Homo-oligomer: A and B are copies of this chain.
Amino acid sequence: MTTLNRQLRLKARPEQLVGPEHFDLVQSPVPELAEGQALVRVLYLSMDPTNRVWMSDVPQYMPPVAIGQTMRGLGLGRVVASRSAHFAEGDLVQGLVGWQDYAVIDDKRAKDWVKLPPHPPVALPTLLGACGFSGLTAYYGLTDIAPVQAGETLVVSAAAGSVGSIAGQIGKLRGARVVGIAGGADKCRHLVEDLGFDVAVDYKAEDFKKKLAEATPDGVHVNFENVGGAVMRAVMSRMVNDGRVALCGLIANYAASGRPSDDYSVIIVKRLTVRGFLVFDYRDAEKGVRELTQWVLQGRIKAGETVTEGLENAPKVLNRLFDGSTVGKLVLKVGDE
């Protein structure tokens, strides 16, 4: 029996939000494996803001996805057939599987894939969230890029999201006063009551700036920035002199049309150090994964995922990153474990 593979191929570049109209759902037989190849059944796709950036023809850290190409995406899956020297049937692997049911992986690019333990100590979606790249982004942002010290005030934007929720909890583990910014009363309650943030501020509230000022009476020493735009400007205006910014993301810009309008002048006025970073640069992330996994197993960090289903829903589901309707890591289930 021929195994069929479904692929979401980029048909048109979205201007703002993403829809099915930007993709072709193409079905074709899984290719014959060549020597040195393995076939991976994709189980979970990580839904990330960077997916949206990859759809746009703007300067970025990887080439944009070409029209007609299967959408690039991080995920994990299980090897179901193998002619490979590196990957055996049953292996669990993580990498750029793409928005499809099956991925063919190649020994020549073995280093692009992370082999996961066969029986992971945490749920598979958590391997894409708190114990995966989302958690690692928070981890390296606050230990290497803008290390936060005990007693300092850390502000985290998009704090209910996959990276922000972990960043805030790491801030608490390091002894900082942690202020989270999120949209709506429910998320703010979640940050304080479930995740242990000191204060949460609702950026949708009319008195957001006033509330942010009240929440940061000593100013902001470290800004873990995920959002950009008006939220970022509000936080930057609260920075102490010589403050530090871990510039992780600018999600407010990603699905917006037109050029983002930011302002560098505050960096001079407050003598800030702003460092941009990409988690993929931390090749040897074992220490980070180990520490995060321990924290999750010890209950010191709460992992949270929003899992939805169906490859065909990927374009619509991705928008949940931009409309604020998700808490924790957003994961799409593509196949049964």
Interface residues of chain A: helix, strand, loop or mixed (majority): loop
What B residues does A275 contact at CB under 8 A? Answer: 267, 271-274
- A253-B265, A264-B262 are known contacts. Are A281 and B273 too (CB-CB below 8 A)? no
What B residues does A58 contact at CB under 8 A? Answer: 265
- One of A78-86, A166-174, A244-252 at the interface: A244-252
Q: Which of A237-290 contact B (CB under 8 A)?
A: 237, 247-250, 253, 259-278, 281
What B residues does A161 contact at CB under 8 A? Answer: none
A271, chain B: closest CB distance, angstroms: 5
| Cβ–Cβ contact A268 & B281, under 8 A | no
| A298 contacts B by Cβ under 8 Å | no
| B interface footprint on A24-61 (CB within 8 Å = 1, 0 otherwise) | 00000000000000000000000000000000001111
| B interface footprint on A223-237 (CB within 8 Å = 1, 0 otherwise) | 000001000100001
| Cβ–Cβ contact B281 & A276, under 8 A | no
In the complex the two chains form, what is the Cα distance from A266 to B58 in whole Å?
Answer: 11
What B residues does A263 contact at CB under 8 A? Answer: 259-260, 262
| Cβ–Cβ contact A267 & B271, under 8 A | no
A79, chain B: closest CB distance, angstroms: 33
| Cβ–Cβ contact A267 & B274, under 8 A | yes
What B residues does A267 contact at CB under 8 A? Answer: 247, 274-276
Closest 3 CB pairs of A and B: A267-B276, A268-B276, A274-B274
